[in-house]
Amino acid sequence: MKVDSFDPEDKKSVKHTRLGVWDLYEHIRPRYVNIPGTFNIQRYAALVEIYPYVVRMVKDVMKLPNCLPLFALYMFISMAHSLLPAVSLWYSGQLLNIVQRAVDSQNLDTKYVVKIAAGHLACRLGNSFLQVSRTTCRRHLDIHINTHFKAHIVHAHTRLDCPTFEDSAVQRQLEEHQGAFGFSSAAWEGLIGAITTLQSVLQVVTQFSVLVNLLRQQKDGILFALLTTIPIMIQYSGVNTSISQAYAAVCTDKNFVRMYGLRDLSTQPQHRKELVAGDLGPYIYKQFQSLQKLLGPYALSFRETRRLYISRKPGWLSSLFTLCGEIPKIVFAFRAVHSPEKLPVSLASLNVIQESVSSFTLMVYQIYREAESLSENLQSIKSLYKLDEIENRVKDGNTHFLENTLSLSDGIAIEFRNVSFKYPWADAYALRNVSFKIEKGRLCVIVGVNGSGKSTILKLLARLYDPTEGQIFLDGKDIQTLVLADLRRSIAVLFQDYTHFPLSIAENIGMGDPTHAFDEDQIRQAAQLGGATEVIEKLPEGFDTYLQRPREARDMFVNLPPEMDTLFGKKIQNSGVKSRRKADRSDDTGLSGGEMQRLALSRTFMRTLNPESHIGLLLFDEPSASLDPEAEHDLFDRLRKLRGSKTMVFSSHRFGNLTRHADLILYIKMSETIESGTHDELLAKGGGYAAMYNIQARAFM
């Protein structure tokens, strides 16, 4: 269960334990938790808050095609299944009575015995049948429901803007539902868990009434029931082996961190080139061994450490409680010796009583224990629906920007007025009091050293973030008042850290203009403009190539002969496991950085090709960083032709090719615009821009 606050400094609420190289900070459970039952009862009480979400989910499930009859059938089977043990117990009781009566009167009613035995067998058969039907029904429900919730979660992800998505709390919220991309959704599992608990409760209630009835008919039945129940209850409520629900585990041991760093360096594919080229292998191995020696065998990951910690809890206690299970038989033996006349009729009946009571007690205890997992599971239903309520930080405006599309055909005018910006959760300013104006259809290049704020300007123009202070105007309108969809439809951006989507190359380019994502001619034209045609044509599957398959759809090749390298006419990529973070890197895809950049450029050009598109502003962040000089020259040639019809803003480190043709250069240093003007004007000024230009020019002399 989540806790409201967690302050590791507060010794009253957080307990600190040193475990190997880890510092474990556990939220202390309230004292009343140690009174058996109370904490789990509190957990059940907390479910009241989740109830409306469960109802909503049930309603949603009912509305899905085919789900209403399936769900109703599933509920019916589940409930019938939970009644059967009571019926079965009743038949056992009847059998017991028959035996007792037979012993007392030395007389057996054969017909009645056959009837009861048949009923008992029918219960067993019914049980198996219901179990199979329930599993089949559940399998079909799983498929329909998971399909629906996969789409729900994709929607919950797609609607979030950058700052909201980057918020670590939102990330945690989203991660809770990552399982939904696999087969099963956590929320649906939660609902199934709730149904199972309901089933257990029904089972307990019906079994209880039959059991009481049965025990009343037996001499000393209630006494033996109690003797059987008590040790089980003590056994399960007395030993608490889990660590607290809320905890933080931190490792500050630098040697441990370094040891794992070396391990990752040696195992992760993205480091292989440097490892081989620098002959780092022997060094890494030696260092790793000496750190292992220094830290000893108990320097383990937290998961392993935690397992060790939990298994250290006294195991002998549970052995002692197991012995308690023998108490009823011992008491029976004593009573047999002291007062044989009071004994129940036979040892057989004692066994039946003990087994029935044990299984009943365990079931009751299971319901009590299930409070923990049930409340966790049901929480995920609530958090699934809460995903839809996460508020975006970049608020939508209400001024339509695409109304006058004619005016966009000359480009968009830009003005930054005293703009300052800090990234969310950063202390330092990425931009400070920046002001400049770019007229419609002009070509502007922002230059400056690393980290001076060039990319940030482009991100603010695309309204990925809002300025902390100051205002940005597009065609004289405050950017924050514009309808976001309109704004984004009028801009094409190529980011410096572009990624390749896990789709075919054609779709990767096509998605530059989602309305024409499958327009082959336009895709080919875009590839031509991005300089990617040759790159794509040399790939065996051309435009249909998947540079990375999505993780869930990757081919798996396990235990194939080592010499086998093709299957179904395709090359087998044995490195099936790729690092997720680096999956967009060119070295994972088999294309060079420049080739990847051409693909990314093609996607940006795709956006400008549609005659109905209203792109008035093109933003390029280092578009030629990985291109060779010829490709760079061709690219800028093509882009210059768009001048007059589109406003273009480039960020670049490179001078010459582009800056010489720019209508405006913004030289930015330490997050502030220092100089602005044309290439000649800034050279004549002899300031920062001229100094940077001369450094580059000298390199070619």
Enumerate binding residues for ligand ATP (CB under 6 A).
423, 426, 430, 448, 450-456, 496, 651
Q: Are 621 and 494 in contact (CB under 8 A)?
A: yes
Comparing C-alpha atoms, which of 155, 181, 150, 194 is closest to residue 53?
194
Dihedral Cα 420, 423, 427, 430, nearest 10 deg: -50
Indicate the residue among 389 and 497 with the shorter CB distance to ligand ATP.
Answer: 497
* Shortest Å, Cβ 654 to ligand ATP: 11
Least spacing, CB of residue 625 vs ligand ATP, in Å = 9
Report whether 619 contacts 642 (CB < 8 A).
no
Q: What gap in Å lies between CA 601 and CA 609, rounded to an integer? A: 13
Closest CB to ligand ATP among 475 and 621? 621
CA 457 to chain centre: 31
189 or 621: whose CB is closer to ligand ATP? 621
What gap in Å lies between CA 675 and CA 673, rounded to an integer? 6
Shortest distance (Å) from residue 454 CB to ligand ATP? 4
Tell me how far, at minimum, the Cβ of 497 lies from ligand ATP, in Å.
9
Residues 6+ apart with CB under 8 A from 176: 186, 380, 383
| Smallest distance, ligand ATP to C-beta of residue 668, A | 7
Residue (384 or 431) nearer to ligand ATP, CB: 431
Q: In this structure, what token pair is assigned to residue 346?
A: 């036979």
Rounded CA-CA distance 674/447 in Å is 11
**Taking the complex as a whole, how short is the minimal distance between the CB of residue 448 and ligand ATP, in angstroms?**
5
**Is the alpha carbon torsion for 154, 159, 163, 168 positive or negative?**
negative
Q: Which two tokens stand for residue 568?
A: 């179904």
The CB-of-166 to ligand ATP minimum distance in angstroms stands at: 7
Residue 598 · residue 530 · CB < 8 Å: yes
Dig out the tokens for 670 from the structure: 């330490």
- Taking the C-alpha atoms of residue 188 and residue 9, their distance in angstroms, rounded to an integer, is 38
Residue 193 or 448: the one with the smaller Cβ distance to ligand ATP is 448
Least distance from ligand ATP to the Cβ atom of residue 167, Å: 12
Nearer to ligand ATP among residue 367 and residue 493 (C-beta):
493
State the DSSP string of 245-306: SSEEEEE--HHHHHHHHHHHHHH-GGGHHHHHHTT-HHHHHHHHHHHHHHH-TT---HHHHH
Q: Where are the alpha helices (DSSP H) in 2-66?
A: 38-63
Q: Which is nearer to ligand ATP, 430 or 529 (CB)?
A: 430
Q: Spell out the residues 6+ positions from residue 386 whose beta carbon is closer than 8 angstroms to its own.
A: 173
Q: Smallest gap, in angstroms, from Cβ of residue 469 to ligand ATP? A: 16
Q: Which residues pair with 115 in a beta bridge?
A: none
